[in-house]
Amino acid sequence: MHNQELERIADLLQSQGYITDPSVTMAVYLSMQLQKPLLIEGPAGVGKTEIAKVMARALDTDLIRLQCYEGLDATHALYEWNYQRQLLHLKMVEAQSTGTTQDLEEEIFGEKFLMKRPLLEAITYPKKPVLLIDEVDRADEEFESFLLEVLSDWQITIPEVGTIKATHIPQVIVTGNRIRELSEALRRRCLYLWIDYPDYEKELAIVRGKVPQINEQLAEQICRFMQELRKLRLEKTPGIAETIDWARALSILHFDHLPKDIVEQTLGVVLKDWKDTRTAQLSLSELYEKTGVVSKFDNL
């Protein structure tokens, strides 16, 4: 019975075009069942953010995203009063000169003038949303502890209005890139999932899923090439997004295999750092050998 539920989630993810593996499915399943935030870490470009998007689609709900950055503070995450609008409203009311001061005060601190930022939005959302707190390690530690408070109480206090309790507790996904070590407290509040670069089979499945019109041989060669490429010591190891870009590009150009000269010409799709490009170029022949890439002259 339980396992059916797991399978159902795997299917849900699959049906949204996300190639999953047992650990991802399990993490998503537990996070949904236990109502706990899921902390996802892993190198850039392995589809951490994608999980949240897919989850929202699979649950047929909306995704609310809080993108963290350095200097992000509570006002940007919670709410702000629309000051200019309040001011204009006061002016207009003044012109008509009706109502008591108290009424007026209640009016300008009403819903209409409240600008909801992601966290408040998530809490007051009419149905259970997926809340994505992206790259939480970019924000500073103060914000992290503030976040902890919201994530455990699920209520936000606005002095002028009062305490707002969550109508539905959102499904929370927190992602991190390991820029900064996250606090132990946050880690302990969450379930944890580490996503690494995909292995060959998974990557191939992803490419097939995302670029359906791709030639089979080309897809295999690209994935093998990427697998080998990641073994090099690079500054910025390419992720799945790069593989898909590359596969899409070559497939649009109607290639049915990976020719040497094209690899050299299009390496920029995959490697975005000149030093990495140099490193890769130096070991290209080795890469060709391992991945079975041939130049058109080799066949002669």
Distance, in Å, from the CA atom of 245 to the CA atom of 197, rounded to the nearest integer, reads: 16
Using rule CB under 8 A, residue 132 touches other proteins = no
Q: Which stretch binds other proteins (CB under 8 A): 27-35, 96-104, 157-165, 167-175?
A: 27-35
Minimum CB separation of residue 150 from other proteins in Å reads 18
- The residues facing 174 across adjacent strands are 39, 133
Q: Tell the burial category of 159 from Cβ atoms under 10 Å away from its Cβ (0-12, 13-18, 19+).
A: exposed
- Which part of the chain contacts other proteins (CB under 8 A), choosing from 9-17, 190-198, 256-264, 279-287? 190-198
CB of 296 to other proteins, least distance (A): 37
Interface with other proteins by CB under 8 A: which range of 30-38, 155-163, 164-172, 259-267? 30-38
Which amino acid is present at 96?
Q
**Neighbour-count burial for 52-91, b at 16+ CB within 10 Å, e otherwise:** bbbbbbbbebbbbbbebeeebebebbbbeeeeeebeebee
Q: Should residue 94 be labelled a site residue for other proteins when binding is judged by CB under 8 A? A: no
Interaction of residue 26 with other proteins, rule CB under 8 A: yes
Q: What angle do CA 65, 71, 73 make, to 5 degrees?
A: 60
The binder of other proteins chosen from 116, 117, 180, 260 (CB under 8 A) = 180
Q: Which of residues 224-243 bind other proteins (CB under 8 A)?
A: 235
184 binds other proteins (CB under 8 A): yes
The answer to whether residue 158 forms part of the interface with other proteins (CB under 8 A) is: no
With CB under 8 A as the contact rule, which of the stretches 122-130, 164-172, 177-185, 255-263 interacts with other proteins? 177-185
Residue 94 to residues 27, 251, 276, Cα–Cα distance (Å): 56, 65, 65
Residue 73 or 289: the one with the smaller Cβ distance to other proteins is 73
- Which C-beta is closer to other proteins: that of 1 or that of 92? 1
How far apart CA 47 and CA 19 sit, in angstroms, is 10
Q: Cβ distance 205 to 19 under 8 Å?
A: yes
Interaction mask 263-282, other proteins, x per CB under 8 A: ------------x-------
Residues of this chain, 192-211, that bind other proteins according to CB under 8 A: 192-194
Vertex 161: Cα angle to 157 and 165 (nearest 5): 45
HSE-CB at 121 with a 13 A cutoff on CA atoms is: 19
**Contact residues for other proteins, defined by CB under 8 A:** 1-3, 5-6, 22-23, 26-27, 29-31, 33-34, 36, 41-42, 71, 73, 75-76, 80, 83-84, 87, 140, 178, 180-181, 184, 187-188, 191-194, 235, 275
